Chains A and B, each alone.
Chain A
Amino acid sequence: MRKINFISIVDDDPITVFGIKKMLCSTVECKTVESHQNGKLALESIKKNLVTKEPLPEIIFLDINMPIMDGWQFLEEFIVLPIAKKVKINIVTSSIDPFDLQQWEFFKNKTHHVITFNNKPIKKDKIAEITKVT
């Protein structure tokens, strides 16, 4: 089983968080899996880790529609953070709004981080694929 140090899940839906966590358990060995209810909380956590030089997530599962700070607002601030390492950001959404796909294209070309776009429900083999590439 692959070993990954740090995975972060950003989603306000507890069921999705539960599902991703459960699938991760059976596909990958991960030391830390943390989850945040919205973009703001996730961003604050990452910023704090940057300051304290603690490890940063290698993989992020990111929902788009969240209160307070949505996925796009999170990305906007995240990509300007001084993070040299490539972080694999996986958008997981039930949105089929073309606007969201445009946004994905926009952010993909703007950063060295890898961003993928996935529709809910996310399947186990998808999780496996995401975690393998890293």
Chain B
Amino acid sequence: MLERQHVTSTSFLVKQLPTPTLFIDKEYRIVYASDTLVSIFSKENTNIKGVSLFGVFPKLDQTWKSVLEDCLLGKSNPMGTQTHADENNFERCYEWRNAVWYDTNENIIGAIIEIHDVTAAVHSEISLEKSNILLRQQSEISKIGIWEYNVESNTVTWCAMTKTIHEVPLNYTPDIDTAICFYKEGYSRNAISMAVFEAMDKGKPWNIKLQIITDLGDEKWVLTAGKPVYEKGKLARIIGTFQDINDQVVSEMKAKEDAKFLKTLIDNLPLNVFIKDRDCKKILANKSECDFLGVSDPSALLGKTDFDLYPVETAKIATEQDLRVMETLVPILGEETVNIKKDGTETIFLSSKIPLLDGNGDATGLVGISLDITNLKQKEQELRNLIQVTSLQNKKLINFAHIVSHNLRSHSANFSMLLDFLVHEKNEQEKDKIVTMLTQASNNLLETLENLNEVVTLSTNTQAEKERQNLNEKITNIQQNLSGLIHNDKLQIINNVSKDINIRIVPAYLDSILMNFITNGVKYKHPEREPILKFSTEKKENYTVLNIEDNGLGIDLEKYGSKLFGMYKTFHTHRDSRGIGLYITKNQVEAMHGKIEVESKVGTGTKFKVFFK
């Protein structure tokens, strides 16, 4: 009875155990079972007492029988895990443990089996394994290794990747000194030593780009990072990562080098180079372009449009060009363009604009290349002017040659004719007449030669010295020299030239010019009125203009304009007309780099304008 009482109380006790527990006898029959176990494994609350263990758990591994056999012999061993679907059909994992069941007399009467739900543990184990695999893969792909320095044991551990990066065998064991010695001597080694020191001393983490020399002697760029870990306020470890960034750094350096090379190249080109984006904003400008726009650094130009940099007119033309190039994708090559800056300076460029295309063939901007050809253009213009001067001079020379030839020929013709007459003439009186004419012809020839000589002197002596002289004074002087002539013909000279006007001239030329105009004023005076000659000046462009106005006969410029300044051209019958005065005047004015213009009305008068530089 007591026994039974005991059994009953034991059964009640087991029933209430919080851990799923089974008691089996030596024949594997279930003696007791906790309610927790029954609720897990039994669908209905069936009585499992006395039923064989393997009957209740048909899925149990048969190998466990031997484990239980050992147990019943007094040797308990772990049995392993067993899965079981719960009421939600969720697969759960249970670990089975056993212990020997003794009676009060230490006799083995069976086995106690405890079952633990280890589902969560198993799952986290799987995910840990997964994480490890992922980490390893990540580490392989990104070439990031990890390492740890245990301060207390003064040991260093490297992961496989860290070792691979160092190119050491996988069984290599580093220590703190050898680890530091892998860094390249100089900056890298100093920097890492300092970083480790500061981490240990001040708890400062590091993350720096340095170079190592691997075990195989290769130079490599690495990104090393370290972080001190404290335990109970004391530095315990330094953990960190170690990444092979050689490829990145090398290609970065190469890119930098390429960029530098390109920049050096475009900065040193004697061309203005710029790049504009789709909105015509500058995104690159080389040194020449900066110099041209008077800024020391490209940053002063970046993001700006032509409207920010040039006057509206220039900007408008340039921007229209830009848009056309980006729209049509047809580049502008070597087009001559005139650029006017805000300060008014004009530059002539030979400019090209080439569209920049993206992957789809659309323009994302354009490259502009401009060559300053202002000097070239200037030279070209100078050359053209020179050619013009030369051809003009050539024309003059031919004209002169014809004049010489014509004049000398006409005199020689007269001589030969008169001599022929003289030879055949019998009449003495007639002979005398012919001799008189010969003398006249000879005088004419002499005069012609004098005139020609005058012209030749003028034409050959183009380098005559210029002097600064007062124009008003000059006119007064000539007036005095010619006072006889002026007095005889009652010429009235009005000198309105301001007394402060000085001009750079060849004095002899100015004398000759003024004298010629005064004598012309007398020679070609109107028969019905007393001659008046008016001198005045004005400023025109770079010239001082001397106006000489008379009230004489005037000349029909439509008829004679082209010949007025020609040699041996006379337009009025006057005994002193030589047809050389204005020809020489014009040559003298031109020799001083001036020019001469004329206005005239027949019967009213003539106005000459002499331009002095």
Residues of A in contact with B (beta carbons under 8 Å apart): 13-16, 18-19, 22, 37-38, 65, 67-68, 73, 93-97, 119-122
Tell me whether A97 and B417 are in contact (CB under 8 A). no
Q: Which B residues from 166 to 211 make CB contacts under 8 A with A?
A: none
Q: Tell which of B402, B421, B568, B571 touches A96, judged by Cβ atoms closer than 8 Å.
A: B402
Chain B residues in 8 Å Cβ range of A93: 406
Tell me whether B405 and A68 are in contact (CB under 8 A). no
Tell me whether A96 and B405 are in contact (CB under 8 A). yes
B304-312, B408-416, B449-457, B464-472: which lies at the interface: B408-416
- Please report the C-alpha to C-alpha distance between residue A13 and residue B413 in the assembled complex, in whole angstroms: 12
Tell me whether A67 and B570 are in contact (CB under 8 A). yes
- Please report the C-alpha to C-alpha distance between residue A56 and residue B337 in the assembled complex, in whole angstroms: 68
B407, B572, B573: which has the most chain A beta carbons within 10 Å? B573
Q: A121-B413, A121-B416 are in contact. Are A94 and B406 (CB under 8 A)?
A: yes
B142 to chain A, nearest CB (A): 94
Q: Tell which of A15, A38, A95, A122 touches B418, judged by Cβ atoms closer than 8 Å.
A: A15
A120 to chain B, nearest CB (A): 4
Tell me whether B571 and A15 are in contact (CB under 8 A). no
B526: Cβ under 8 A from any A Cβ: no
Q: A95-B402, A97-B406, A120-B413 are in contact. Are A15 and B440 (CB under 8 A)?
A: yes
Q: Which chain A residue has the least Cβ–Cβ distance from B419? A: A121
Tell me whether B417 and A96 are in contact (CB under 8 A). no
Tell me whether A68 and B402 are in contact (CB under 8 A). no
Q: Which B residues from 438 to 492 make CB contacts under 8 A with A?
A: 440-441
B603 to chain A, nearest CB (A): 16
Chain A residues in 8 Å Cβ range of B559: 73
Q: Tell which of A14, A22, A122 touches B421, judged by Cβ atoms closer than 8 Å.
A: A22
B577: Cβ under 8 A from any A Cβ: yes
How many pairs of A and B residues are in contact by the CB < 8 Å rule? 65
B428 to chain A, nearest CB (A): 16
Please name 17 further chain A to chain B contacts, defined as beta carbons within 8 Å, in addition to the given A19-B417, A22-B421, A95-B402, sorted by A numbering. A15-B414, A15-B417, A15-B441, A18-B437, A19-B418, A67-B570, A67-B571, A67-B573, A94-B405, A94-B410, A97-B406, A119-B409, A120-B409, A121-B414, A121-B416, A121-B417, A122-B417
- Please report the C-alpha to C-alpha distance between residue A88 and residue B437 in the assembled complex, in whole angstroms: 29
Main secondary structure of the interface of B (DSSP, over half): helix
Q: Which B residues from 554 to 613 make CB contacts under 8 A with A?
A: 559, 568-573, 577, 579
- Please report the C-alpha to C-alpha distance between residue A94 and residue B412 in the assembled complex, in whole angstroms: 9
Residues of B in contact with A (beta carbons under 8 Å apart): 402, 405-407, 409-410, 412-414, 416-418, 420-421, 437, 440-441, 559, 568-573, 577, 579
Q: A67-B570, A68-B570, A68-B571 are in contact. Are A94 and B409 (CB under 8 A)?
A: yes
B500 to chain A, nearest CB (A): 41
- Please report the C-alpha to C-alpha distance between residue A62 and residue B418 in the assembled complex, in whole angstroms: 19
Chain B residues in 8 Å Cβ range of A95: 402, 406, 409
Main secondary structure of the interface of A (DSSP, over half): loop
Q: A15-B440, A94-B409, A96-B409 are in contact. Are A65 and B402 (CB under 8 A)?
A: no
Chain A residues in 8 Å Cβ range of B573: 37-38, 67-68
Q: A18-B437, A19-B418, A97-B402 are in contact. Are A68 and B572 (CB under 8 A)?
A: yes
Q: Which chain A residue has the least Cβ–Cβ distance from B416? A: A121
Chain A residues in 8 Å Cβ range of B441: 15
A33 to chain B, nearest CB (A): 17
Q: Which chain B residue has the least Cβ–Cβ distance from A92? A: B413
A14, A73, A94: which has the most chain B beta carbons within 10 Å? A94
- Please report the C-alpha to C-alpha distance between residue A96 and residue B568 in the assembled complex, in whole angstroms: 16
Tell me whether A67 and B577 are in contact (CB under 8 A). yes
B99 to chain A, nearest CB (A): 144
Tell me whether A94 and B569 are in contact (CB under 8 A). no
A52 to chain B, nearest CB (A): 24
Chain A residues in 8 Å Cβ range of B440: 14-15
- Please report the C-alpha to C-alpha distance between residue A68 and residue B414 in the assembled complex, in whole angstroms: 23
Tell me whether A67 and B579 are in contact (CB under 8 A). yes
B376 to chain A, nearest CB (A): 39
Tell me whether B437 and A15 are in contact (CB under 8 A). yes
Chain B residues in 8 Å Cβ range of A13: 410, 414
- Please report the C-alpha to C-alpha distance between residue A13 and residue B579 in the assembled complex, in whole angstroms: 14
Q: List 13 A-B contacts (CB under 8 A).
A: A13-B414, A15-B417, A16-B410, A37-B573, A67-B579, A68-B572, A73-B559, A94-B413, A95-B402, A96-B405, A121-B413, A121-B414, A122-B417
- Please report the C-alpha to C-alpha distance between residue A50 and residue B50 in the assembled complex, in whole angstroms: 173
- Please report the C-alpha to C-alpha distance between residue A22 and residue B406 in the assembled complex, in whole angstroms: 23
Tell me whether B414 and A65 are in contact (CB under 8 A). no
Q: Tell which of B409, B412, B420, B572 touches A67, judged by Cβ atoms closer than 8 Å.
A: B572
A10 to chain B, nearest CB (A): 14
B268 to chain A, nearest CB (A): 58
Q: Which chain A residue has the least Cβ–Cβ distance from B398? A: A97
Chain A residues in 8 Å Cβ range of B414: 13, 15-16, 19, 120-121
Chain B residues in 8 Å Cβ range of A122: 417
Chain A residues in 8 Å Cβ range of B568: 65
Q: Which chain A residue has the least Cβ–Cβ distance from B408? A: A94
Q: Which chain B residue has the least Cβ–Cβ distance from A67? A: B570
The 10 closest A-B pairs by CB, nearest first: A67-B570, A120-B413, A121-B413, A94-B409, A94-B410, A121-B417, A15-B414, A19-B417, A97-B402, A121-B416
Chain A residues in 8 Å Cβ range of B579: 67
A74 to chain B, nearest CB (A): 13
- Please report the C-alpha to C-alpha distance between residue A68 and residue B559 in the assembled complex, in whole angstroms: 10
